[in-house]
Structures are given as C-alpha cells and as structure tokens.
Structure 1
Amino acid sequence: MRHIDDDVDVLKVMTSRFRMKLFSLLFRIGPVTVSELARRMDADPGQVSYHLRQMQPHGLIEDVPELARDSRERWVRAALSGWALVRDSEAPEARAALQAWTSQWVIDQFERLRDFERTYMTLPENWRHASFGSSRHLRLTQDELTQLADQLNAVLKPWRELTQARVESSEIPPDTRPIFIFYHAFPEEP
C-alpha cells in the first residue's frame, strides 16, 4: 500500500481524471496490454500510452515484458495494491495537490459503488450474497479511532498480500474477481 503524503509530483500526476480511471482499471484487470486498456477506456492507444508514461516514473505502474508476444506489444500492471492518505503536509503546493487528488479519488470511489449498485442483480447469486456494505456511527476518542484504523489495516493485510502474490505469479484461481474495498472513518461535529 502506498501512503500518499506530500510527494507533490505523484499527487499532481494522479489528479487527472483519466489517469485515476486508468489506474482503477489496472487494479481491477491486472496485467493487460495497452491496446486492451485503450479499448476498455474507449480511448486512443497513444493517449493511454502517454498517461502510462506520466505514471511510470512515480512507481505507479510497471511494465510486464515477459507477457509480450513481440516487441510491439506492451503489457502493464498497477505497481501498488492500494492508497492510504497522509494529510499532514503544511506546504501550500502539497496541500493544494492533495486536495485536488482527494476530490478525484472520492469521485472515483463513489462512481465505482454506484456502478456496482446499478449492476448488482446481474451478478451470480453467490457473488451477490458475498458482497457487503455497511455504515456505523461510533463515539470514539482520537486514540480509539487510530486503533480502529490500525486494526482494519491489520485485517486487510493478509488479503492484500494474497492478492499481490497472485498478481505477481499470474496464478489466479478462475473464480477470482477483483474486489473493491473502501472505507472512511472521520470525526463529525455533533
């Protein structure tokens, strides 16, 4: 998992709506050709290649040359398994970039949830029953909220590691699907 903090260059690169969608797609489908990415994004392969080149120097994507059948075919995958925000930067440029990136990130999360809800009934019954959503209202101290975040991340860690191992080995069980998890926990005014 990558912590997004005051690396202004990474934040700027990922404020692009197109790159955010491209990156989300890479998370979901794993190693893929640039041609297939372009088809799924309904974009020109040159446009997709340009955005991938912007992301690559920041360690966001990586080439997978061993999958290419010839020198013209380019395979890529996401180099990360998730994002974590660190919002403590005092630098004005970093704060502005973080705010722009966060806005795009939240939009992406809710669009993905909306798309899931829209297509929920088209899923096989076993996947519908396995899917879940929840919201809770808690009353916690700052220390307790920090503990909650640590515990949630600890619960997800073995699942992130399993996913990473599957992606790196290209040995993914046939009934595996990309799973999107997002949660937020923050204080509200009473």
Structure 2
Amino acid sequence: MKQIYDLDMLRVLTSRFRMKLFSLLFRIGPVTVSELARRMDADPGQVSYHLRQMQKHDLIEDVPELARDSRERWVRASMGGFVVMDLKTPEARAVVRAWNSQRVIDQFERLRDFERTHMTLPEEWQDASFGGSHHLRLTRDELWQLAEQLNAVLQPWRELTKSRVESSEAPPDTRPVFIFYHAFPEEP
C-alpha cells in the first residue's frame, strides 16, 4: 500500500470520471486506452487526457511491452492500493472529504450494479459472494486495532492479486473481486 501525502494526487481522484477509470484499471489490469474508452462509454481522447493527469501523479503507468504497434497504448494502475495519511490543514481535509465522497459513491454504485446483475453470474460465484454488517461497542484504540487486523488478513490476498496481475497468469476461473467495508462510530 502506498502512503499518500500529496494533495495534488488526491485532487486528481476527486474527479468522478477519474475515480471510475482508476477503479476499472484495478479490476481489469493492463488494458488498452481504446478498451478503457469502450468500457467507460467515452471518447478515447477524453480517456487519454484523464490518464495523463493520473500519470503525472504516478497513479497509472504505461505498459509499452504489451503494445503491438506504436499507436496502441497499454496502461495499468501503478500501485496495489493506497492509504491517505494524516493531512491536518483545512485545505487537506477538504480535499480528503471530496476524494472520500467520490470513493464512497463508487463503492455503493458497484454494490448496486452487483445486486442488479448478480443473477447473471454462474451459480458458484453467486454463492461465494458475501456481505454483512456488525454492531460493535469499541474504544477508539480498539477500532484502530480492528482496522489493522482486517488489513493484515487482506494483505496476502492483495499480494496474490498483484502477482497475478503483473504476470498475467491468473487461473482461468479467476474473477476480479471487490471488497469494501466501513467501520465508524455512531451516536447512540
């Protein structure tokens, strides 16, 4: 996980279009710009523009070894995820709020899309998906500990995914899997 201290990097991802583009790159791995444009239902020039903005901040990288000719551009996400570090200025908090708002919108849209289309998946994949909610009573330190434990559980799976994406040698029955969870204090 890359630690983000750069406000400009986060600003790039406050764009709804870029957030969706970035999310798509994580799901599908290396891909051509034309395929991204098709999947985003957007003009290739528009996609290229947004990719350049993301590349300025090392969010994506070119994969020239996959290109069949000089006109074909392949790209991929340049990191396996990131965590936003403690940014304390009012400007930083505003940027983090804008980014987080886009991130949450993206997460729930993806969940809504899954719920709308999950019956089209093979039955074994329908049975493997899961979700849940839990009501806990914790201290602030215990909540931090819970976050660290959840991240530790996911770390080997992130590493496996990264190696599969980088080598392009995933088992044929592999699918992108999206996991998201939120843990936050509520008023009683």
Q: TM-score, normalised by structure 2?
A: 0.96
**CA distance in 1 between partners of 2:80 and 2:49 (Å):** 22
Aligned to 2:114: 116
Aligned to 1:174: 172
The code of the aligned residue for 2:24 comes to L
2:10 matches 1:3: no
Aligned to 1:63: 62
Displacement of 1:81: 2.1
2:4 matches 1:19: no
Aligned to 1:148: 146
Listed one character per residue, the Cα deviations across residues 149-177 of structure 1 (whole Å, up to 9, x for unaligned) are: 11100100000000001111111111110
Q: Secondary structure of the equivalent of 1:73?
A: coil
Aligned to 2:43: 44
Deviates more, 1:74-83 or 1:174-183: 74-83
Q: Secondary structure of the equivalent of 1:150?
A: helix
Q: Secondary structure of the equivalent of 1:84?
A: strand
Q: Secondary structure of the equivalent of 2:91?
A: helix
**CA distance in 1 between partners of 2:183 and 2:84 (Å):** 12
Displacement of 1:85: 3.8
Displacement of 1:65: 0.7
Displacement of 1:96: 1.2
Matches within 5 A, 1:66-85: 66-85=65-84
Displacement of 1:57: 1.9
Displacement of 1:82: 2.4
Q: Secondary structure of the equivalent of 2:56?
A: helix
Displacement of 1:92: 1.8
**8 Å contact 1:8–1:94 — kept in the other structure?**
yes
Q: Secondary structure of the equivalent of 1:76?
A: strand
The code of the aligned residue for 1:144 comes to E
The answer for unaligned runs of 5 or more in structure 1 is: none
**CA distance in 1 between partners of 2:181 and 2:2 (Å):** 16
Q: Secondary structure of the equivalent of 1:58?
A: coil
Task: Percent identity, please.
Answer: 80
Aligned to 1:30: 29
Aligned to 1:189: 187
Runs of 4+ aligned structure 1 residues displaced above 6 Å come to none
Residues matched between the structures, number: 188
**CA distance in 1 between partners of 2:76 and 2:69 (Å):** 18
Task: Give me the CA root mean square deviation.
Answer: 1.1
Aligned to 2:129: 131
**8 Å contact 1:19–1:51 — kept in the other structure?**
yes
For the structure 1 residues 26 and 118, does the alpha-carbon distance in structure 2 shift closer, same or farther, using more than 3 Å as the test? same
Q: TM-score, normalised by structure 1?
A: 0.95
Displacement of 1:3: 3.4
Aligned to 1:106: 104
The code of the aligned residue for 1:111 comes to E
